[in-house]
Amino acid sequence: MPIDTNVWSAGPSWYHQLLQWDSEWYFRIVTEGYGYNGDPTIPQNIVFYPLYPMLARGLAAISGISAPDTLLLVANISGFCAIVLLFKLVREEFGDDLALATVALLSFIPTSVLLSAGYTEPLELLLVVSFFLTLKLPYLTLSGGSAGFVSMSRFNLVSFPLFVVMADVGLRAKWLLIGVIGLFSAALFMNAALFARRIWIG
């Protein structure tokens, strides 16, 4: 849920620009814990799941690293591990070429900037891929709810079977695969710039 970030800055470093919108909610949970004032008409942090801020808070307590930095560390480590495990998952079923094409497509999809941001998607992707790596079951996801599909592109970050299919099709026409990754890369650069300027891209 986007909130007013004009009055909040995670820190002075360039990488703190990766902490926007919902990241402030997670930051408040890490530093202040959960709270509810009894008024259902205003946003409350109890709507956010606890695993991501809990891991960031634990890392901050153990290491002494600041809360914003632990939020980014948890997200980026999770995202990196998710990509590695996704490669392993696809390679075991379909081989190296399809696995490499799959992770390339996922890594360069325009909203993949959120795999490095202070959001839950990197951790979610890690857990989902780990689950299917263990069970080897097919997975598809469709997200909506009362808000409709306003964040569908963001939610699709964890729809890794989509990238497996795209990679399979792309390997039959490599010029198409290269073109799609090129378009993804250009859009990813634009999305990263927009996100850093506090323009919603999810």
Which residue type does 135 have?
Answer: L
Distance CA 42, CA 129 (A): 35
pLDDT for 143: 43
Going by pLDDT thresholds of 50, 70 and 90, the confidence category of residue 140 is very low
Whether the Cβ atoms of residue 21 and residue 3 lie closer than 8 Å to each other: yes
**DSSP character at residue 157:** G
Using pLDDT thresholds of 50, 70 and 90, give the confidence band for residue 101.
Answer: very high
* pLDDT tens string 141-192: 444 444 444 555 666 677 778 788 888 888 888 888 888 888 888 888 888 8
Task: Quote the pLDDT of residue 75.
Answer: 95
- Distance, C-alpha 147 to centroid of its chain: 19
Among residues of the chain, what percentage have pLDDT more than 90?
36
**CA 71 from centroid of its chain's CA atoms:** 12
Asked whether the beta carbons of 85 and 128 are under 8 A apart, the reply is no
- How many whole angstroms separate alpha carbon 14 and alpha carbon 115? 17
Given a cut of 80, whether residue 201 has pLDDT beyond it is no
pLDDT band, residue 3 (cuts 50/70/90) = low
User: Which contacts (CB < 8 Å, 24+ apart) does range 25-30 have?
Assistant: 25/1, 26/52, 26/53, 26/56, 26/71, 26/118, 26/120, 27/67, 27/68, 27/71, 27/118, 29/53, 29/57, 30/56, 30/57, 30/60, 30/67, 30/70, 30/71
- Round the average pLDDT of the chain to a whole number and report it: 83
Of 3-7, 102-106, 128-132, 179-183, give the range with the top mean pLDDT.
Answer: 102-106
Q: What pLDDT shows up at residue 155?
A: 66
Cα 77 from chain centroid? 11
Mean pLDDT, residues 52-69 taken together: 93
pLDDT band at 72 (very low <50, low <70, confident <90, very high): very high
Q: With b meaning 16 or more CB within 10 Å and e meaning fewer, what string describes 90-109? A: bbeebeeebbebbbbbbbbb
Cα separations (Å) of 2 from 18, 19, 86? 14, 12, 29
Q: What are the structural domain ranges in the chain?
A: 14-196
Task: Find where tokens 């890392």 sit.
Answer: 59
